[in-house]
Amino acid sequence: MRDADPRRRVPRTDVLLADPRLAAAVDRLGRDRVKAAIVAAQARARAGEITPDRVRDAALAVLPAATPAAVLNATGVVLHTNLGRAPLSAAAVAAVAAAAG
């Protein structure tokens, strides 16, 4: 009987790294971290803790979710310094009046 041993069905590392969800994790977390999660999940499958078809999900489960990206909130600069209420020059007032009709 070929493939009688379920450990032979454990997916290869390169196949798992090509999976879209794990590839996205590589972009976010780095290849080494994702590969370590995959190798650990493969070891669990070989030990019989999980089935071979659960290796991808087990690797994804130990990886952190998407982290928030750092952003710069500069709205306070405009509001706090009253730059939003700066007086218009005479030329700007005339241009606004001309545009308004």
pLDDT digits (tens, 9 = 90+) for 11-44: 999 999 999 999 999 999 999 999 999 999 999 9
Phi-psi region of 30 (alpha: psi -120 to 50; beta: other; left: phi over 0): left
Residue 5: what pLDDT?
77
Amino acid at 34: V
**Residue 76 scores a pLDDT above 70:** no
Find out whether 62 and 37 touch, Cβ atoms under 8 Å. Answer: yes
- pLDDT, residue 68, reads 75
Phi-psi region of 82 (alpha: psi -120 to 50; beta: other; left: phi over 0): left
In the chain, the percentage of residues whose pLDDT exceeds 90 is 54
pLDDT for residue 83 is more than 70: no
Whole-structure pTM value:
0.62
